[in-house]
Amino acid sequence: MPFKILAINPGSTSTKIAVYTDDEPTFTLSIPHSAEEIARFKSVVDQFDWRKNLIEQALKDNGIDIRTLSAVIGRGGIVRPVESGVYEVNDDLRHDLLHARMQHASNLGGLIARDIADEIGVKSYIADPVVVDEMMPYARISGVPELPRESVFHALNQKAVARLFAKESGKRYEELNLVVCHMGGGCTVSAHRRGRVIDTTNALDGCGPISPERSGSLPPGPLIHLCFSGKYTEEELIRKVHGAGGLMAHLGTTSVPEVLDRILGHDLHAMLILRGMCYSIAKEIGAMSVALKGDVDAILLTGGIAHSKRVTDFIADYVDSIAPIYVYPGENELRSLAENALAVLRGERQSRTYVSEEYDDPSKINDTSRTSKLRDVLLAAMNPANVNKPASAIRHYLRKFGNKRN
């Protein structure tokens, strides 16, 4: 008997839904939301009933009986950091979505999925939310203890594209080292080492490369001076970093096709800014190749901007010496969600259990009365299982020259 899955992807300006029968989409719809409609609500959570009713009405209008669904899956929100996987929307996850640390439309995905699923007696899930965190412990360290680096990236699309590439290559995702670059309104670049994202740029806080609407990493000194200049409110500065930065700040648009049209019209300023964005992406790809110690099987370019050959060619010109480059234009988060739910329904993948946890504070890592995943990782690194591992090139170098005196 085929499985029927409802996938829900709430965004800032739309709610996208799809019904899949096994691998095939039988219904897809994007419900647009105007700025005026969104402005009626004080918070994202306040939009819950409104968006849920729009979804259920759309399904009804198109002759889809929700009682025929086998499962409901929503886009994951900004909850606590989790490992990659499919998570059932249990009470802990529902609580953390309702009380998320940041307002974001994706928080509604799991909440609406849970409510619809409970009505018809099936299970609800999220998969690979933006807070997937598999980073190496030392990749989290910044020069200011109060400002650790966080893993917030386009996990759903990056993981889906990485698995697709592995399938097309006749290999398992867990066998490959990949640098995956998602280029959309925000751009994230990540190092995938044998199925785990060990380092990534954080698009939510504007870190990493320049993107159509985000600033990318900024020089900290001038940024601090700007914060205390009195010219901007805190909210205005946050918008400069996330929402009104990048191409929007320089060129007044987030549309890469529009910028390319300007360039064709001999707009040299547009050319300069777009090349600056592409150059910043290329640099981050290089940095993530270092996170993989130069052992990179492929570089994958994805997201809406990857439709532009001029952009991908410019980036490739800088990084093709690192590894072969493969382009997967666009993103299909609804398909990715449905595929994850289907894998659980078919027994090909086990769903994970979400548990609310306190932050694993690095400054308390030596307090053995507290449980700490971070401590476990570091202790494992201090006592590796494979003690006969050959010395690296740098260790050979140190052995060769270590006995010489100045």
Tracing tokens 């909850």 back to the chain, one arrives at 79
Q: What is the pLDDT of residue 383?
A: 73
Residue 338 and residue 378: Cα distance in Å, rounded? Answer: 36
In a domain, 379, yes or no: no
The answer to whether residues 187 and 62 belong to one domain is no
Give the long-range contacts of residues 360-369, CB within 8 A, separation 24 or more: 362/140, 362/141, 362/145, 362/148, 363/145
Q: Give the range of the structural domain holding residue 108, as residue numbers without chain letter.
A: 1-154+332-370
Of 181, 130, 135, nearest in space to 152 by CA: 130
Within-domain flag for 79: yes
* Cα separation values, 219 from 185, 226, 243, 249, Å: 21, 11, 18, 16
- β-pair partners for 72: 6, 124
Confidence (pTM): 0.83
330 has pLDDT over 90: no
At residue 127, the 3 state secondary structure works out as strand
pLDDT-based confidence at residue 205 (cuts at 50, 70, 90): confident
- Number of domains comprising the chain: 2
Give per-residue pLDDT as tens, 228-249.
999 999 999 998 998 889 999 9
Query: What DSSP assignment string belongs to 176-197?
Result: -EEEEEEESSSEEEEEEETTEE
**What single DSSP character describes residue 82?**
B
Whether residues 18 and 35 share a domain: the answer is yes
Question: Are 226 and 211 within one domain?
Answer: yes
Distant-in-sequence, close-in-space partners of 342: CB < 8 Å, separation ≥ 6: 3, 5, 20, 22, 23
CA distance 397 to 400: 5
Domain boundary among 315, 330, 345: 330
Q: What is the CATH number of the domain that holds 179?
A: 3.30.420.40
- Considering the domain architecture, whether residues 7 and 64 belong to the same structural domain is answered as yes
Tell me whether residue 400 is in a domain.
Answer: no
How would residue 388 be classed by pLDDT, with cut points 50, 70 and 90? low
Q: Which of 330, 361, 389 is the last residue of a domain?
A: 330
The rounded distance, in Å, linking the Cα atoms of 69 and 107 is 22
174 contacts: CB under 8 Å, gap ≥ 6: 194, 195
Q: Which of 87-91, 134-138, 144-148, 330-334 has the lowest mean pLDDT?
A: 330-334
Mean pLDDT of the chain: 91
Name 117's Cβ contacts closer than 8 Å, sequence gap at least 6.
69, 71, 72, 89, 123, 124
Query: Sign of the CA dihedral 191, 195, 198, 199?
Result: positive
